[in-house]
Structure 1
Amino acid sequence: MVSCRDCHSYALFNVVLFFLNSHLTRGQDNADCPADGRTWLPFGVNCYHFVHGAEDVTKTYAFDAAKLMCGGYDLLTVKSAQENDYIVNYSPNVWKGNVNIWLGLHYDSDDDVFRWNDDDSVLLYKKWEAGGSDDTDLPLMDTCVALHTSTGKWENISCSNELENGVVCQTKTVWTSSPKSSPLLSALVIVSVVLILVVSAVVWFLQQRNNPGSSVLNLIEYHPPFGSPSSDQTCLVEAEEMEEIP
């Protein structure tokens, strides 16, 4: 039967191992956003930078100017409902009132579809407002798309004649690995395991001293094979055989 002291030692052993394992594996994979002095916000596998002007001033940018504002990063791409909702819900933290945001899309006149600028992929997720779609009446080379933060829906607009308020830059997160564990941490693991073994041995010794009848040797008993005769039965059999001899 396992004593409470044994239970406590086993529980202590598991707690310490869990604590050490969490420290050894913490931060092995970290997602980082660009460190270029601008404020980047991580969401999913992407990082977003909301471009804004002075306090209480919402700047407007044409499409080409908006791309320049991102400094080599992509304009906003929205490839899921979760991303669309995130941009719409966070926008009030940057701009006062409802604004329109350029989407990083271009119209592919060869296939008559919109494609994302970052990877040239077609739209798998769409949220056109009434009257908006891949089909556009605007000149093909002057067709862009804006996201309305008031409705969360998209609209076909002119790239050159429209000045949309919001600019959001986007890039993929960079996954980095944490540095290898230090010798000090490895030594801590070894010392902790040794201490646990010592404590467990002390607890077992105290238990045996307080309960001498519970020695491990006392738990070992000899059991003869099933069906074998006892010593008394063996003597009786031998006596009977002696009497039968003429």
Structure 2
Amino acid sequence: MDPCRACYFTLFNIVLLTLTRGQDCPADGRTWVLFGHNCYHFVHGEENIAKSYSLQDAKDMCRGYDLLTIKSAEENENIVKHSPFVWKGKINIWLGIYYDSDDDVFKWHDDDSMLSYNNWEDGGSDDTDLSLMDTCVALHTSTGKWENISCTDEPENGVVCQTVGFYICGTDGSPLLLVLVIISVVLILAVSAVVWFLHQRKNPGSSILNLIEYHPSFRSPSADQTCLTEAEEVEEIP
């Protein structure tokens, strides 16, 4: 790729990334809360009805999304802190975890990955008398700890749906973004100037205009040119 063209391409990408305003959540009529890169919908339930559901109900409510997936201590803390704004009192929340009998480990439903973070109660994931195939996990909002529970015999748990936020572009008027854009533009223009200077030293007789090739557009021959060509062909026939 031409050096100057590469510089301008880099400039475009840096400015585009700098102007990326952030992440947003689905506009599907639900109330979504953005924590970091993910969006969370806390299922409120109906008035005068316990805001707790079976695992199958939870999956149905989050159809098209994932059940709550927690992969860091910060994420765990955010869920615990926000829960009182949704539910009165403390509640347990279904986690999107399942037991994979083939690998003999717990995994997340969203991407089938193993647990890189956990916050089990004392005793850990092995502290259960349940069949592993009937073992699910709930988050206690009172302690932030995780507990093994039955997937079928303990249906009363709260529901939080989760999805990855999507990026939207544009500027939010932040002075920091403006400064980053200006610095990016200045740096790339400086690099472009150096590349152009080195190119001039190596090719003293060239100019920046020589980097641009002219390709005339295709034009069909005029009627006079066509007739002249046909006449020459006729004269050449013996």
Supply the distance in 2 between the matched residues of 1:103 and 1:137 (Cα, whole angstroms): 19
Q: Confirm or deny: 8 A CA contact 1:58 1:95 kept in the other structure.
A: no
Structure 1 spans left out of the alignment, 5+ residues: 1-23, 180-246
1:25-36 pair list within 5 angstroms: 28-36=20-28
1:93-108 pair list within 5 angstroms: 93-108=85-100
Q: Confirm or deny: 8 A CA contact 1:52 1:58 kept in the other structure.
A: no
**Aligned match for 1:127, one of 119, 123, 129:** 119
Q: Which amino acid aligns with 1:80?
A: S
Supply the distance in 1 between the matched residues of 2:162 and 2:126 (Cα, whole angstroms): 23
2:76 paired with 1:75 = no
| Pair 114,136 (structure 1): closer, same or farther in 2 beyond 3 Å | farther
Deviation at 1:174, TM superposition (A): 0.5
Supply the distance in 2 between the matched residues of 1:177 and 1:72 (Cα, whole angstroms): 25
**Aligned match for 1:158, one of 150, 153, 157:** 150
Supply the distance in 1 between the matched residues of 2:159 and 2:94 (Cα, whole angstroms): 6
1:160-239 pair list within 5 angstroms: 160-178=152-170
Q: Which runs of 4+ in 1 moved over 6 A?
A: none
Cα deviation digits, residues 211-245 of structure 1 (max 9, x gap) = xxxxxxxxxxxxxxxxxxxxxxxxxxxxxxxxxxx
Q: Confirm or deny: 8 A CA contact 2:127 2:148 kept in the other structure.
A: no
2:75 paired with 1:88 = no
2:46 paired with 1:54 = yes
**Aligned match for 1:114, one of 106, 112, 116:** 106
Q: Confirm or deny: 8 A CA contact 1:114 1:134 kept in the other structure.
A: no
| Pair 114,178 (structure 1): closer, same or farther in 2 beyond 3 Å | same
Q: Confirm or deny: 8 A CA contact 2:67 2:96 kept in the other structure.
A: yes
RMSD of aligned residue pairs (Cα, Å): 2.1
The 3-state SS of whatever aligns with 2:81 is helix
Deviation at 1:101, TM superposition (A): 0.2
| Pair 142,26 (structure 1): closer, same or farther in 2 beyond 3 Å | same
Q: Which amino acid aligns with 1:147?
A: L
Q: Confirm or deny: 8 A CA contact 1:46 1:171 kept in the other structure.
A: yes
Q: TM-score, normalised by structure 1?
A: 0.59
Structure 2 spans left out of the alignment, 5+ residues: 1-15, 172-238
The 3-state SS of whatever aligns with 1:151 is coil
Deviation at 1:88, TM superposition (A): 0.5
Aligned to 1:147: 139
Q: Which amino acid aligns with 2:36?
A: G
Cα deviation digits, residues 128-167 of structure 1 (max 9, x gap) = 0023315643222211000001110000010011123310
The 3-state SS of whatever aligns with 1:157 is strand
Supply the distance in 2 between the matched residues of 1:147 and 1:25 (Cα, whole angstroms): 36
Supply the distance in 2 between the matched residues of 1:111 and 1:121 (Cα, whole angstroms): 11
The 3-state SS of whatever aligns with 1:133 is helix
Deviation at 1:53, TM superposition (A): 1.4
Supply the distance in 2 between the matched residues of 1:28 and 1:111 (Cα, whole angstroms): 40
| Pair 25,157 (structure 1): closer, same or farther in 2 beyond 3 Å | closer
Supply the distance in 2 between the matched residues of 1:103 and 1:140 (Cα, whole angstroms): 15
| Pair 149,96 (structure 1): closer, same or farther in 2 beyond 3 Å | same
